[in-house]
Structure formats: structure tokens, C-alpha cells
């Protein structure tokens, strides 16, 4: 699978549930997901392009480790476009990330920000086309909400081998914690690997599933053999994990985080090129073989893409 062939770390999927009621974020759910952009200049281009299209955008907000734009899709899913850098080593050594709780400086908190200047910042010219430098290069991070951030930390470290790379406070609500985990070798943090949680300790404001809410988050694993090892490891820890499900383009196992968030570990392969040429991905409606006999009925009942 080539660079542009739907590689892991760049994939977003949506279920269509006609007439689904709106969901809402809360404990055990996802607050927002962030896509990665290469530079602050390209990020401002996105702000201009989205706002010209009538999409309200907030930011760019200096989050210290990156800069963030926020908006919502038509279902209300909160999306962020985040810059790749400057990264997590701006306020602690790169070989000792995530060791202590770092309070953000006042200028990054609501009272210390110049909200009017932030709102005014945009690219001076319209952006009629998405230029290569604006490419959204996959997942930057996904942020959920938990009611027990230390329990969550133990889970993501012990069960999934992620490492804490930042312990800080929510920069929009400094009364609550915000922790970041990622693939981290003690020197550098892996791209597309960051999961972050807002800590709403003891909150009973549970996420409501539905349109605009993330259904689940998938982590990748290289092979079915490695996936089987993850499954055994999870079972050893007492995590209730499904059997392997064949998803045609990958194989998946599912389990829940302690706060209720549904997680998946999916194999990299065989990939989206298994049933259509890589240069024609997404052009045709693909059905699993067991649904192929019902294709005429399915095609009749699907809502057209707009």
C-alpha cells in the first residue's frame, strides 16, 4: 500500500445511521479528533477556506505543544486541525516526558488569551483550492473524556503499551487534568499515535452515543500474529475482548477502556487494495461477498452521497 493508499494512521470512517439522534460527549466518549497539518501557515489557509465556506472556526489557539483550530462537521463531531510541532519537549526534557504535572502558562489559559486577536487571525486571501502544503496527514490525536484519569493511565500503559508523554491541565478548563499518551521510545513520540483524555473525576455525565459522536477508536497492529499476542495480553489482564472479526480490509478485535470507551486493534493488512485498484479507491460501492447477492436492493435503499 503506497503513501496515498489509505495507510493506517490516516483513516476516518463513518457509519450512516439514518435518523440517528444526536450524541453528546461525556465520560467514556470522544470529545474531539485532531487531524495533522504541516505548518501554521497551512493551518491559517484552512481557517480561511472553512470560514469562507460558512463553517465557524475557533483558533488558532496556542496549545504549547501544537497550535489548534476547532470546528464541527454537519453532525456536530468536533474536529481540530493541529500543527505537527513544536512537540511535547518544549517544557520537559525529550527523554523524560510525562513525569510531572505541568501547569500551562497564563497566556495559554482563557483569562490570559487575547481572544479578539485570535479570532481575527486568518489568511488574507481566499483559498479556492486545497494546495499540497495543506494536506491533512492523518490523525494528530484523539481526545476523550474519562472519570478516573489515573485508572485510565494505568490501562493505556499496561494494557496497550502507550506511554504518558504529558500531564497537564485542560487549557480551556484549568480545574481539570489533561493527560497525553503516545507511542514513545524515551526519545521521540510516534506520529498518529497520541490519545489524550480530559479528566472529569467522578463525573456521571456519561457520553451519549449517536450522530456526531465517535463510535470507537482503532489502534493498528502489523500482523494477525501480533494481534493474537495483543489479544492474549488483554485477556491475561482480565480485559473482556472479542474474537477476531474479519473486516475484509483488516481484521479486528474490540474491547472497552475502564471508562467505557470502545477500542479496537486492527491489522494493517490486507488493506483497501484487496478488492479494487489502489488508484480507484472509493469509486465503487464495495460489499462483502455474503451481501453481494442483495446488491440491487442495497443500492436502491442507500441514500446518495452528496
* Minimum separation from the CB atom of position 69 to Fe ion (A): 10
Q: Which residue, 251 or 264, has its beta carbon nearer to Fe ion?
A: 264
Restricting to residues 165-194, which ones interact with Fe ion according to CB under 5 A? Answer: none
- Contact call for residue 268 and Fe ion (CB under 5 A): no
Asked if 143 is part of the footprint of Fe ion (rule: CB under 5 A), the reply reads: yes
Cell numbers given for 10: 490516516
- Check binding of 251 to Fe ion (CB under 5 A): no
In whole angstroms, the minimum distance from the beta carbon of 296 to Fe ion comes to 27
**Of 112-120, 147-155, 263-271, 292-300: span binding Fe ion (CB under 5 A):** 263-271
Spell out the residues 6+ positions from residue 39 whose beta carbon is closer than 8 angstroms to its own.
Answer: 83, 84, 133
Q: Establish if 80 lies at the interface with Fe ion (CB under 5 A).
A: yes
Whether the CA torsion 302, 216, 237, 192 is positive or negative: it is positive
| Segment interacting with Fe ion (CB under 5 A) among 27-35, 101-109, 221-229, 284-292 | 27-35
Q: Is 148 in the site for Fe ion (CB under 5 A)?
A: no
Under rule CB under 5 A, residue 147 binds Fe ion:
no
| Nearer to Fe ion (CB atom), residue 216 or residue 295 | 216
Nearer to Fe ion, 15 or 290 (CB): 15
Environment class of 286 (CB within 10 Å of its CB; exposed 0-12, middle 13-18, buried 19+):
middle
Examine residue 217 and tell whether it contacts Fe ion (CB under 5 A).
no
Pairing of strands 251-256, 58-62: unpaired
Nearest CA to 99 among 42, 43, 155, 180? 180
Interaction between residue 34 and Fe ion (CB under 5 A): yes
Q: Which of 264, 265, 268, 272 binds Fe ion (CB under 5 A)?
A: 264
DSSP β-bridge partners for residue 67: 62
Q: Does residue 218 touch Fe ion according to CB under 5 A?
A: yes
260 CB contacts (<8 Å, ≥6 apart)?
A: 27, 28, 29, 206, 207
Grouping H, G, I as helix, E, B as strand and the rest as coil, residue 123 is coil
Nearer to Fe ion, 12 or 298 (CB): 12
Nearest-10 Cα torsion for 244, 245, 251, 252: -70
Q: Which stretch binds Fe ion (CB under 5 A): 20-28, 48-56, 199-207, 262-270?
A: 262-270
Compare residues 218 and 228 and give the one whose CB is closer to Fe ion.
218
- Tell me, by CB under 5 A, how many residues bind Fe ion: 5
Burial class (CB in 10 A: 0-12, 13-18, 19+), 97: buried
Q: Which residues contact 151 (CB under 8 A, 6 or more apart)?
A: 258, 259
Shortest separation between residue 247's beta carbon and Fe ion, angstroms: 7
Q: Minimum distance between the CB of residue 124 and Fe ion, rounded to whole angstroms?
A: 26
CA 115, CA 126: separation in Å to the nearest integer?
23
Residues within the interface to Fe ion (CB under 5 A) = 34, 80, 143, 218, 264
Amino acid at each position: 500500500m503506497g503513501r496515498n493508499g489509505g495507510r493506517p494512521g490516516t483513516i476516518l470512517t463513518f457509519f450512516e445511521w439514518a435518523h440517528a439522534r444526536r450524541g453528546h460527549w461525556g465520560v467514556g466518549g470522544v470529545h474531539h479528533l485532531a487531524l495533522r497539518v504541516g505548518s501554521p501557515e497551512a493551518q491559517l489557509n484552512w481557517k480561511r477556506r472553512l470560514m469562507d465556506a460558512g463553517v465557524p472556526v475557533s483558533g488558532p489557539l496556542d496549545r504549547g505543544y501544537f497550535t489548534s483550530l476547532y470546528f464541527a462537521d454537519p453532525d456536530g463531531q468536533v474536529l481540530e486541525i493541529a500543527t505537527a510541532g513544536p512537540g511535547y519537549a518544549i517544557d520537559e526534557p525529550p527523554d523524560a516526558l510525562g513525569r510531572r504535572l505541568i501547569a500551562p502558562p497564563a497566556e495559554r489559559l482563557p483569562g490570559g488569551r487575547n481572544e479578539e486577536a485570535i479570532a481575527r487571525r486568518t489568511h488574507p486571501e481566499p483559498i479556492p483550492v486545497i494546495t499540497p502544503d495543506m494536506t491533512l496527514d492523518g490523525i494528530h490525536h484523539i481526545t476523550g473524556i474519562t472519570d478516573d484519569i489515573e485508572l485510565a493511565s494505568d490501562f493505556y500503559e499496561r494494557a496497550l503499551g502507550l506511554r504518558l508523554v504529558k500531564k497537564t491541565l485542560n487549557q480551556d478548563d484549568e480545574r481539570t487534568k489533561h493527560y497525553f499518551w503516545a507511542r514513545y521510545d524515551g526519545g521521540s513520540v510516534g506520529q498518529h499515535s497520541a490519545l489524550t483524555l480530559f479528566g472529569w473525576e467522578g463525573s456521571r455525565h456519561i457520553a451519549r452515543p449517536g450522530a456526531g459522536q465517535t463510535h470507537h477508536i482503532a489502534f493498528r497492529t502489523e500482523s494477525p500474529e501480533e494481534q493474537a499476542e495483543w489479544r492474549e495480553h488483554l485477556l491475561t489482564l482480565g480485559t473482556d475482548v472479542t474474537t477476531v472479526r474479519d473486516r475484509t480490509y483488516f481484521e479486528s478485535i474490540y474491547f472497552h477502556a475502564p471508562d467505557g470507551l470502545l477500542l479496537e486493534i486492527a491489522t494493517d493488512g490486507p488493506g483497501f487494495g484487496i478488492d479494487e485498484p489502489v488508484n480507484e479507491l472509493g469509486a465503487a460501492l464495495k460489499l462483502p461477498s455474503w451481501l453481494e447477492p442483495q446488491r440491487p436492493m442495497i443500492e436502491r435503499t442507500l441514500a446518495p452521497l452528496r
